[in-house]
C-alpha cells in the first residue's frame, strides 16, 4: 500500500489547507476531463482516495496509528467526504449563484463619411443611429409597473439545479443553469409589455459628434457609454465612430501632405509666368520659373492637411505638367520651325505613340485610390 502522504506529496504534519491545495493541484492535472489518458486514471483514483483519508480527521488519525481498512485505498466507498472533494475542485461546492439580470451592453460601430476639407479643419455632426436604449415604460426592470421578479420555485433562488450521478470514481455532482429561470434565480411573472421583460427597446436617437481636425480614413473615435444598453437596463457599451474620407476632385492626400497637378502651356513653361491655383484655403498664386519642365514641383507651405492633435499643417505640392499643342495653324508651324532651327534642333515627322500616365494617376494607383 502506497503512503498517502507521499501520494499527495505533503509532510506528515501538513495542515488541512496544505493537503487541500496539494490535492487540488494534482487532481486538476489528472482529472479525466483534463487528461483523458487511461494510464493516469488509476493514479487519479489513488490520489483521490489519499485525499479522502487525509481530509477526514478521524480517518487520518486512524491511518497515522497504523489502522487497517486502508489497503488498496483506491477501491473503497468512493468519495466519502463528497462536499470536501467538490470544494477542493471548485472552491465552494461549485455553486456559482444566480446570474444578474442587468448586464453590460455591447459596443456599436458607425462609419461617417467626411470631405477632405472637413478632415482638414474638423467639423460637427449629428449622427442618427438605431440602438438599444433603456425601456421608458419599466425603466429597465423588465416588469410591469407595480410588480417585481419573484423567487424561482424550482431552484429556490440559486439560479442552478444540481444532479448527483454515480461513476467509477464514486458520486459526481453536476450543476446546470436552472431551465425555469434561465439561471437568474428569479422569474418575471408579469413582464413589461413594451420590452417583453428585456428592460430595453430599440429606438432611434441623435448623437452630436465633434470630428477633430486631421482625421483620416480608418481613424476611430470612442464615445463612452453611447453604445447599446445592456439587458435588464444594464450600462451601455461604447460607440465607435470610424472615419471614411471622400476622394477629392483634384487633391490627393498623403498623410499631412496634399498633391495636385496643374497644366501650363509650352510658352508659359518656357518664358515663366504666375498662375492661380485652388486650395483648401481658397485661391493662391504661385510663380512658374522660366524653363520649367513637366514633373517640376512648387510647394505651398502650410496649405496641406492639419496634423491630428496639432495646430500645424503639412504642405501642398503642386506638380507641373507642360502641355504640347496638338493643332497648329500654318503660321504657328512656321514660327515653331524657325524657332527650332534657331536652336539647332532637328524637327522630324516621327511621333511617339501612346500617352504617359499623369503623376496624380500614378500616385492614386500606388495608394489604391
> Could you report the per-residue pLDDT of 242-289, keeping only the tens digit for each?
999 999 999 999 999 999 999 999 899 999 999 999 999 999 999 999
Give the pLDDT of residue 63: 80
Give CA separation, 4 vs 36, 117, 135, in Å.
Answer: 24, 78, 60
The three cell numbers locating residue 41:
486514471
Mean pLDDT over 226-242 rounds to 93
Between CA 310 and CA 255 the distance in angstroms is 14
Place of cell 471614411: 244
* Rg (the chain; Cα; Å): 40
Give the pLDDT of residue 143: 95
The three cell numbers locating residue 184:
437568474
What integer best gives the mean pLDDT of the chain? 83
Nearest to 99 by CA among 22, 187, 162, 164: 187
Give the pLDDT of residue 73: 42
Tell me the per-residue pLDDT of 11-69, one tens digit each, with 9 for 90 and over. Answer: 988 898 888 888 878 877 776 555 666 667 778 778 888 888 888 888 888 787 765 44
* Euclidean distance between the first and the last CA atom of the chain, given in angstroms as a whole number: 78
Residue 340 has pLDDT above 60, yes or no: yes
The three cell numbers locating residue 281:
484655403
Residue 89: count other Cβ atoms within 10 Å of its Cβ. 16
Handedness of CA 141, 144, 146, 152 (dihedral sign): negative
Residue 152 has pLDDT above 90, yes or no: yes
Q: What's the predicted TM-score (pTM) here?
A: 0.62
Residue 86 has pLDDT above 50, yes or no: no
Between CA 362 and CA 368 the distance in angstroms is 10
Give the pLDDT of residue 64: 78
Structural domains in the chain, sorted by start: 4-90 (1.10.287.110), 108-149+188-245 (2.60.260.20), 252-366 (2.60.260.20)
Q: What confidence tier does 364 reach under pLDDT thresholds 50, 70, 90?
A: low
Task: Give the residue with greater pLDDT, 113 vs 47.
Answer: 113
Task: Give the residue with greater pLDDT, 126 vs 97.
Answer: 126
Residue 103 has pLDDT above 70, yes or no: yes
Place of cell 477632405: 116
Which DSSP category does 230 fall into?
B
Contacts of 92 (CB under 8 A, 6+ apart): none
Give the pLDDT of residue 307: 96
Nearest to 90 by CA among 13, 33, 14, 168: 33
Give the pLDDT of residue 59: 83
Tell me the per-residue pLDDT of 173-227, one tens digit each, with 9 for 90 and over. Answer: 778 889 999 999 999 999 999 999 999 999 999 999 999 999 999 999 999 999 9
Query: Does an H or E element contain 127, and which?
Result: strand 123-134
The number of residues making up the chain comes to: 369
Helix (H, G, I), strand (E, B) or coil at 28: helix
Contact 110, 205 (CB under 8 A): no
Give the pLDDT of residue 88: 43
Between CA 88 and CA 185 the distance in angstroms is 25
Give the pLDDT of residue 288: 95
Residue 9: count other Cβ atoms within 10 Å of its Cβ. 13
Residue 290 has pLDDT above 80, yes or no: yes
Give the pLDDT of residue 339: 85
Which DSSP category does 233 fall into?
G
Contact 313, 256 (CB under 8 A): yes
Between CA 192 and CA 211 the distance in angstroms is 39
Between CA 368 and CA 358 the distance in angstroms is 15
Between CA 228 and CA 104 the distance in angstroms is 9
Task: Give the residue with greater pLDDT, 201 vs 171.
Answer: 201
Amino acid at each position: 500500500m502506497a503512503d498517502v502522504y507521499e501520494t499527495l506529496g505533503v509532510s506528515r504534519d501538513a495542515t488541512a489547507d496544505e493537503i487541500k491545495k496539494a490535492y487540488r493541484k494534482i487532481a486538476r492535472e489528472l482529472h479525466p476531463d483534463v487528461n483523458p489518458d487511461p494510464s493516469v486514471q488509476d493514479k487519479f483514483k489513488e490520489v483521490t482516495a489519499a485525499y479522502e483519508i487525509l481530509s477526514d480527521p478521524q480517518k487520518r488519525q486512524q491511518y497515522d496509528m497504523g489502522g487497517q481498512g486502508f489497503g488498496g485505498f483506491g477501491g473503497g466507498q468512493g468519495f466519502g467526504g463528497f462536499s470536501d472533494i467538490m470544494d477542493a475542485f471548485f472552491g465552494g461546492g461549485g455553486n456559482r449563484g444566480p446570474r444578474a439580470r442587468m448586464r453590460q451592453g455591447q459596443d456599436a460601430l458607425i462609419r461617417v463619411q467626411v470631405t477632405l476639407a472637413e478632415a482638414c479643419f474638423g467639423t460637427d455632426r449629428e449622427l442618427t443611429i438605431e440602438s438599444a436604449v433603456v425601456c421608458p415604460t419599466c425603466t429597465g426592470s423588465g416588469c410591469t409597473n407595480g410588480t417585481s421578479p419573484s423567487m424561482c420555485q424550482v431552484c429556490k433562488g440559486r439560479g442552478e439545479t444540481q444532479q448527483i450521478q454515480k461513476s467509477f470514481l464514486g458520486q459526481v455532482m453536476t450543476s446546470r443553469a436552472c431551465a425555469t429561470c434561465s439561471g437568474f434565480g428569479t422569474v418575471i411573472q408579469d413582464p413589461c409589455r413594451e420590452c417583453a421583460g428585456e428592460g430595453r427597446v430599440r429606438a432611434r436617437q441623435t448623437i452630436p459628434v465633434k470630428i477633430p481636425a486631421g482625421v483620416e480614413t480608418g481613424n476611430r473615435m470612442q464615445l463612452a457609454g453611447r453604445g447599446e444598453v445592456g439587458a435588464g437596463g444594464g450600462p451601455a457599451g461604447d460607440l465607435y465612430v470610424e472615419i471614411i474620407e471622400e476622394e477629392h476632385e483634384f487633391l490627393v492626400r498623403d498623410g499631412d501632405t496634399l498633391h495636385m497637378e496643374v497644366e501650363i502651356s509650352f510658352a508659359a513653361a518656357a518664358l515663366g509666368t504666375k498662375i492661380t491655383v485652388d486650395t483648401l484655403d481658397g485661391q493662391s498664386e504661385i510663380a512658374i520659373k522660366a524653363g520649367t519642365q513637366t514633373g517640376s514641383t512648387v510647394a505651398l507651405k502650410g496649405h496641406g492637411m492639419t496634423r491630428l492633435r496639432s495646430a500645424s499643417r503639412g504642405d501642398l505640392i503642386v506638380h507641373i505638367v507642360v502641355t504640347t499643342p496638338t493643332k497648329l495653324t500654318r503660321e504657328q508651324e512656321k514660327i515653331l520651325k524657325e524657332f527650332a532651327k534657331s536652336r539647332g534642333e532637328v524637327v522630324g515627322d516621327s511621333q511617339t505613340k501612346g500617352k504617359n500616365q499623369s503623376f496624380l494617376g500614378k500616385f492614386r494607383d500606388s495608394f489604391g485610390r
